[in-house]
């Protein structure tokens, strides 16, 4: 460069200083959460180009945003295609192998079995799906609806609906939705519906999504009709 003409040196060095300054400034924006790492589009980028504290209204311009909290808010379902990816009725439609000794025909929501979790089996059958079978895009929403029947007060016999991703044997973005922290009735069927946004994938091919129920006590706990849906962005 320094063997070139002065005018070219000035032009190129000016561009380098400009882009380094922009790089440093936008790195600072990222550190201050003014420029999130995902969900951006041109409208959001333009509206917050020089801002360290964006107007809250501009957050509505994001395509989506991972907030990394238990209760993610799925607000633009109309932009997604919906499909069922897993179902357990513990009779004739089941998305994973069952242990038949845990089937129970005395308590059920849909005739004629539920699945009993107790001291001998604390985990339900796990639904799992590779990330690239879940979506071809870099994220998807997952909605899980579970029906459960607690025989005992969940404060004494807690249970959780669990969703997480797994990559090379390691779990990440683990969500344990503790049922004792939500309204419920003992000795009756209750329903919980949760929504989970997948984290940004490492490889798109080696990650797997897991969904299952964990009985965190040794007391009997029943589940039935678990429905798992995926929502994939239309564009």
Specify whether the CB–CB gap between 54 and 30 falls below 8 A: no
Q: What is the pLDDT of residue 219?
A: 97
pLDDT reading at 89 higher than 70: yes
Q: What is the pLDDT of residue 2?
A: 74
3-state helix, strand, coil split of the chain in percent (to 5) is 20, 35, 45
Q: How far apart are CA 174 and CA 107, in angstroms?
A: 30
**Widest distance between CA atoms in the chain:** 89
Q: What is the pLDDT of residue 38?
A: 66
Predicted TM-score (pTM) of the model is 0.77
Q: What is the pLDDT of residue 145?
A: 98
Overall average pLDDT of the 224-233 stretch: 96
What mean pLDDT, rounded, does the chain reach?
A: 91
pLDDT reading at 70 higher than 80: no
- Residue range 103-149, pLDDT digits in tens: 999 999 999 999 999 999 999 999 999 999 999 888 999 999 999 99
Other C-beta atoms closer than 10 Å to the C-beta of 188 total: 9
Where does the pLDDT of residue 37 fall: very low under 50, low under 70, confident under 90, or very high at 90 and above?
Answer: low
- According to DSSP, the β-strands at 221-233 and 114-117 are antiparallel
- Which helix (H) or strand (E) segment holds residue 3: the answer is none
């Amino acid at each position: 460069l320094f063997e070139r003409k002065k005018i070219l040196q000035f032009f190129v060095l000016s561009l380098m200083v400009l882009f380094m300054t922009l790089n440093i400034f936008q790195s600072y924006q990222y550190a201050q959460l003014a420029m999130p790492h995902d969900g951006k589009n041109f409208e959001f980028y333009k509206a917050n180009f020089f801002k360290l504290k964006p107007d809250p209204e501009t957050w509505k311009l994001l395509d989506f945003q991972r907030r990394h909290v238990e209760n993610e808010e799925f607000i633009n379902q109309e932009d997604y295609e919906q499909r069922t990816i897993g179902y357990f009725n513990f009779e004739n439609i089941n998305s994973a192998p069952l242990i038949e000794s845990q089937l129970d025909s005395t308590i059920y929501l849909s005739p004629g079995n539920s699945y009993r979790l107790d001291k001998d089996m604390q985990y339900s059958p796990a639904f799992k799906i590779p990330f690239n079978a879940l979506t071809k895009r870099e994220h998807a929403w997952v909605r899980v609806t579970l029906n459960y029947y607690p025989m005992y007060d969940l404060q004494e016999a807690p249970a959780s609906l669990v969703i997480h991703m797994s990559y090379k044997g390691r779990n990440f973005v683990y969500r344990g939705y503790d049922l004792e922290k939500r309204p419920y009735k003992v000795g009756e069927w209750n329903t919980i519906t949760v929504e989970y946004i997948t984290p940004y994938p490492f490889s798109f091919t080696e990650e797997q999504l897991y969904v299952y129920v964990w009985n965190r006590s040794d007391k009997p706990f029943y589940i039935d009709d678990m429905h798992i849906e995926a929502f994939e962005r239309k564009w």
